[in-house]
């Protein structure tokens, strides 16, 4: 971590904050509810933030993505192929069962074995976990793994006693949702409420709230109205169109910070015939125009990124240059924002043999992310301005990732992949590498690019022990991918929460909704 992370997070308070009693209960409005309570069912953000209330990790992350002791008090490499983890003593699950190494070994095995739409195999591939004693485990690999810490910081620890033989339905009902976390699961009524209560015996800092109710409210206006009427105490994903108005409201406190989720244009430069690219007469384009660097560069130059930030997000986003926010390990300072240059874009299309453009479909999620529909429509209009006739097709988030981009049923798409680990290895494996790399077959969506240079750099970085050398390899791989326009970075969201007076949200780079980040405001 670097000190520059501090610049990424800021808090703004609207109006005069009235004094109020510190309530024992918290009502929290969220735009997206979890797909399951089972912490090994999905790697998506809503699933993770839900799990982190009831369960714990071996290695935790602070608000700036720094690694911190969790259920593991300490860890170190024993040799090039072995890491040892010393487990915290005196920790108990919610039912009073002591936490031991058996729970760690079981959790790792379950996370790999559980059939799920987004698998944890990427983090546990080629790793063997061995119990040394009740409070010591060793993780062995076939080859050096310098990213062991970040890999294991993704795996939730469950109770072997309660989860062995349990189904995802057992977690959803609460029967198996018994963790070591700061809050105990009470109930989940999909599309209505998700309820927790404080764990008075938590091993860490005392939970801030006695009772917590998450209320899923998909509609942005309805979520804002619920806060303003007092039906909820805090809400996430404040619509950018409401931020200015809420900032002037003395009954609302706004908290915001730049997030770690890059949004980028995915281009199918890999296939000779791409399914959603046509000649102007409607015949399939052969060869695929996106295989030509000049065409890809033209599309990137056609995008007015600052215009999207200013007009679609009303300033509540940041122009992206790569797959990482500034200050992260692996961030390439040589990469600058792509200039908006439609004139040069038209010239490049003509040089590539497409003076009159061609036809293409741009796929995007619909309502899955802040202003995703508006961004897709804006990008399509910019492509039309350089002669590329662009149709926008929108799909719900789950369909978009599983059936559209997950199976390469697209040619151009606006996609995202959170920098959840705080470094770029997962993004490079999932988005850039031709792949799939061993161990990522069940986690990573097919990539549209294939460049031997990036593949070689990524593969070398993943086994390079020296931290500085590994970072340079990551930087080089990112630089090649961006300059080759294998991806075209667009923007980073600014995460924004709103709360009633007396409360504010301490923002996190990963944008997670964690109730203990709701704190008193002065």
Query: Could you report the per-residue pLDDT of 497-515, keeping only the tens digit for each?
Result: 999 999 999 998 888 999 9
Contacts of 370 (CB under 8 A, 6+ apart): 237, 239, 240, 313, 493
Say whether the peptide bond before residue 101 is cis (omega within 30 degrees of 0).
Answer: no
- Summarize pLDDT for 272-281 with one digit per residue, the tens: 999 999 999 9
- Residue 3 pLDDT exceeds 50: no
- Residue 262 pLDDT exceeds 70: yes
Give the per-residue pLDDT at 120.
81
- Residue 263 pLDDT exceeds 90: yes
Give the per-residue pLDDT at 152.
94
| Number of compact structural domains in the chain | 1
What is the distance in angstroms between the CA of the first residue and the CA of the last residue of the chain? 29
The C-alpha atoms of residue 511 and residue 259 are separated, in whole angstroms, by 6
- Asked if 289 and 352 touch (Cβ cutoff 8 Å), the reply is yes
Residue 350's domain comprises 258-494
Average pLDDT over all residues of the chain: 91
Q: Which of 9-13, 194-198, 411-415, 478-482 has the lowest mean pLDDT?
A: 9-13
Average pLDDT over residues 410-434: 88
Give the per-residue pLDDT at 42.
87
Evaluate whether residue 90 is within a structural domain: no
- Among candidate residues 238, 245, 317, the one with its CA nearest the CA of residue 31: 238
- Asked if 483 and 253 touch (Cβ cutoff 8 Å), the reply is no
Give the per-residue pLDDT at 509.
86
Average pLDDT over residues 152-172: 96
- Asked if 389 and 231 touch (Cβ cutoff 8 Å), the reply is no
Contacts of 488 (CB under 8 A, 6+ apart): 264, 265, 267, 296, 299, 300, 303, 338, 482
Average pLDDT over residues 250-255: 95
What does residue 157 show for φ and ψ, rounded to 5 degrees?
-100, 125
Give the pairing type, strands 25-30 and 211-216: parallel
- Residue 374 pLDDT exceeds 50: yes
Give the per-residue pLDDT at 406.
80
Give the pairing type, strands 72-79 and 82-87: antiparallel
Give the per-residue pLDDT at 178.
98
Average pLDDT over residues 298-318: 96
DSSP string, 287-342: S-GGGSHHHHHHHHHT--HHHIIIIISTT-EEE-SSSS-TTSTT--TT--PPP--H
- Helix/strand/coil for 238: coil
Say whether the peptide bond before residue 287 is cis (omega within 30 degrees of 0).
Answer: yes
Give the number of other CB atoms < 10 A from CB of residue 162.
20
Domain harbouring 321, CATH code: 3.10.105.10
- Residue 7 pLDDT exceeds 90: no
Q: SS3 for 137-181, per residue?
A: EEEEECCCCCCHHHHHCCCEECCHHHHCCCCHHHHHHCCCCCCCC
Give the number of other CB atoms < 10 A from CB of residue 311.
12
- Among candidate residues 241, 238, 240, 192, the one with its CA nearest the CA of residue 217: 192
Evaluate whether residue 317 is within a structural domain: yes
- Summarize pLDDT for 447-464 with one digit per residue, the tens: 789 999 999 999 999 989
What are the contacts of 466-469 at 24+ separation with CB within 8 A? 467/146
Rg of the chain in Å (alpha carbons): 23
- Among candidate residues 508, 503, 507, the one with its CA nearest the CA of residue 519: 503
- Residue 479 pLDDT exceeds 90: yes
- Residue 15 pLDDT exceeds 80: no
- Summarize pLDDT for 17-58 with one digit per residue, the tens: 333 334 589 999 999 999 999 999 988 889 999 999 999 999
Average pLDDT over residues 351-361: 98
The C-alpha atoms of residue 346 and residue 384 are separated, in whole angstroms, by 11
The C-alpha atoms of residue 522 and residue 19 are separated, in whole angstroms, by 8
Give the number of other CB atoms < 10 A from CB of residue 80.
12
Distance (Å) of CA 330 to CA 242, 306, 428, 455: 35, 24, 11, 16
What band does 117 get if pLDDT is binned at 50, 70 and 90? low
Maximum distance among all Cα pairs of the chain, rounded to whole angstroms = 71
């Amino acid at each position: 971590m670097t000190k520059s992370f501090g610049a990424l997070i800021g808090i703004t308070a609207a109006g005069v904050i009235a004094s109020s009693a510190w309530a024992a209960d918290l009502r929290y409005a969220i735009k997206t509810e979890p797909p399951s309570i089972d912490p090994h069912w999905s790697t998506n953000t809503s699933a993770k933030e839900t799990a982190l209330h009831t369960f714990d990790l071996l290695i935790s992350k602070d608000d700036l993505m720094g690694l911190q002791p969790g259920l593991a008090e300490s860890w170190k490499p024993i040799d090039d192929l072995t890491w040892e983890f010393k487990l915290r003593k005196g920790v108990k699950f919610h039912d009073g069962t002591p936490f031991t190494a058996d729970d760690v070994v079981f959790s790792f095995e379950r996370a790999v074995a559980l059939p799920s739409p987004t698998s944890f195999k990427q983090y546990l591939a080629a790793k063997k976990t061995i119990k040394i004693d009740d409070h010591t485990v060793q993780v062995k690999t076939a080859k050096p793994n310098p990213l062991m810490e970040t890999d294991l910081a993704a795996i939730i620890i469950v109770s072997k006693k309660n989860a062995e033989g349990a189904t995802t339905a057992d977690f959803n009902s609460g029967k198996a949702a018994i963790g070591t976390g700061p809050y105990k699961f009470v109930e989940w009524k999909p599309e209505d409420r998700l309820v927790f209560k404080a764990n008075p015996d938590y091993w860490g800092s005392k939970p801030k709230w006695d009772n917590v109710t998450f209320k899923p409210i998909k509609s942005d206006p309805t979520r804002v109205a619920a806060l303003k009427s007092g039906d909820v105490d805090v809400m996430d994903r404040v619509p950018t169109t409401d931020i200015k108005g809420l900032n002037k409201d003395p009954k609302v406190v706004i908290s915001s910070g730049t997030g770690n989720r890059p949004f980028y244009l995915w281009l199918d430069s890999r296939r000779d015939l791409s399914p959603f690219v046509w000649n102007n007469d409607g015949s399939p384009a052969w060869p695929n125009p996106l295989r030509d660097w000049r065409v890809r560069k033209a599309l990137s130059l056609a995008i007015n990124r600052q215009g999207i930030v200013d007009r679609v997000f009303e300033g509540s986003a940041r122009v992206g240059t790569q797959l990482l926010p500034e200050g992260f390990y692996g961030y390439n300072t040589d990469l600058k924002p792509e200039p908006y240059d439609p004139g040069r874009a038209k010239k490049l299309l003509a040089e590539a043999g497409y003076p009159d453009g061609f036809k293409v479909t741009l796929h995007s999620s619909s309502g899955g992310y802040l202003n995703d529909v508006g961004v897709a429509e804006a990008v399509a209009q910019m492509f039309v301005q350089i002669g590329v006739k662009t149709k926008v097709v929108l799909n719900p988030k789950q369909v978009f990732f599983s059936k559209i981009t997950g199976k390469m049923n697209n040619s151009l798409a606006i996609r995202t992949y959170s920098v959840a680990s705080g470094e770029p290895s997962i993004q490079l494996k999932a988005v850039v590498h031709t792949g799939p790399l061993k161990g990522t077959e069940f986690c990573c969506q097919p990539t549209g690019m294939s460049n031997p240079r990036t593949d070689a750099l990524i593969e070398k970085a993943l086994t390079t022990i020296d931290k500085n050398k590994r970072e340079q390899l990551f930087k080089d791989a990112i630089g090649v991918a961006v300059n080759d326009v294998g991806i075209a970075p667009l923007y980073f969201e600014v995460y924004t929460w709103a709360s009633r007076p007396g409360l504010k949200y301490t923002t996190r780079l990963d944008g997670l909704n964690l109730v203990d980040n709701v704190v008193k405001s002065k």
